[in-house]
Every structure is written in structure tokens, then in C-alpha cells.
Amino acid sequence: MEDDAVIFIGDKPVMNYVLAVMTQFNKPIASVILKARGRAISRAVDTAEITRNRFMPNLTVKNIIIGTESIPNEEGKMVNVSSMEIILTKQES
């Protein structure tokens, strides 16, 4: 049994990620980690909130980790990009 699943948030619609979270929790899994960088951070927050409020009220946010990552841009210069991880766990009812 895996401990947790990682979902990387990108440019897809929020509901695609909500479905991915619910699919992961239907497996025997302890937690799901939503990882996002830059402009996708707001989509990760939306994913967590929509999943919790509309579909799975037994989910809780276990932890939120924020940080900065340096990635190369088109010119080869290093650019700092904000990053966030949201760790969701299922409460036993």
C-alpha cells in the first residue's frame, strides 16, 4: 500500500484535478499531495477547496508547504518561482 500520491497542478481545468484527487482517495491511500508552481498555485488551492467542500467533506488539509524554486528561463537565466504543496488526508469517520 502506498502512503501518498502526488498530483502536479498545471494548465488543465480545475475539475480535472478534483477528479484526480477523488480517484486517488478511492484507492487505499493515506494522503494526496497537490504540487504547484507559479500561477498554478491558485488552481491547486481551488482544487483542494472544491474537493473538500463539494465532494469529500471528510478531507482535511494536513499541511501546506510554501517555498521558492529556481528554474532556468528561455535565455538560460535562473528565475525564482513560488511553489506550494497542499497535503490532503482523509478523516476516518
d(CA 77, CA 36): 21
The mean pLDDT of 2-12, rounded to a whole number, is: 86
Cell numbers describing residue 73: 528561463
Confidence of residue 1 (pLDDT cuts 50, 70, 90): very low
Q: Rounded to the nearest 5°, which phi and psi values hold at 91? A: -80, 135
Mean confidence (pLDDT) of the chain: 92
- This prediction's pTM: 0.89
- In order of their start, the domains of the chain are 4-90 (3.30.110.20)
Q: What is the pLDDT of residue 93?
A: 58
pLDDT mean over 32-53: 96
Q: How far is CA 89 from the centre of its chain?
A: 12
Cell numbers representing residue 48 in the block: 483542494
Chain-centroid distance, C-alpha 17 = 8
H or E segment and range at residue 26: helix 14-26
